[in-house]
Amino acid sequence: MISASALNSELINKIAQDFAQATGLAVVVVNIHGDEISELFNFTPFCQLMRQHPQHSTRCRMSDRCGGLEASKSDQPCIYRCHAGLTDFSIPLVIAGHLVGFVLCGQVRLSNDVELVDILNVDGSLAG
């Protein structure tokens, strides 16, 4: 089985940075446990501030993990609303048929009221 730690971190960072630059979206790559395996690219000042606060950072990482898990259920991207109300999406990162992590993107506010998964309420035990 391939693990995220076996991946070339320089290549992961380059791909994530290029994608962030091309789309203008915030991007981070995480392993299957939700731990960051890339740098944070294009993160909004709001999200940077949130991640500096221990309690908020925990909820950010929980949103990341839950978004990834939802995407892995269907092997499809999952669009969801994070705990702070921003819209994110998660894409399963599959290599040689093995799920090794997720590409998380977004940090946007939608102008229209679209129904999205409130990611921390998918499983009430996760909302903590």
- pLDDT tens string 50-97: 999 999 999 998 898 889 989 999 889 999 989 898 999 999 998 888
**7: pLDDT strictly greater than 80:** no
Which domains are assigned to the chain?
4-126 (3.30.450)
* Spacing of C-alpha 87 from chain mean position: 11
Amino acid letter, residue 5: S
Phi/psi at 63 (5° precision): -60, -45
Which pLDDT band, with edges at 50, 70 and 90, does 127 fall under? Answer: very low
Residue with the bigger pLDDT between 34 and 100: it is 100
pLDDT of residue 122: 61
84 three-state secondary structure: coil
User: Which span out of 13-17, 68-72, 112-116 was modeled with the highest average pLDDT?
Assistant: 13-17
Angstrom distances, CA of residue 6 to CA of 1, 3, 21, 95, 118: 10, 5, 25, 11, 32
Give percent of the chain above pLDDT 70. 84
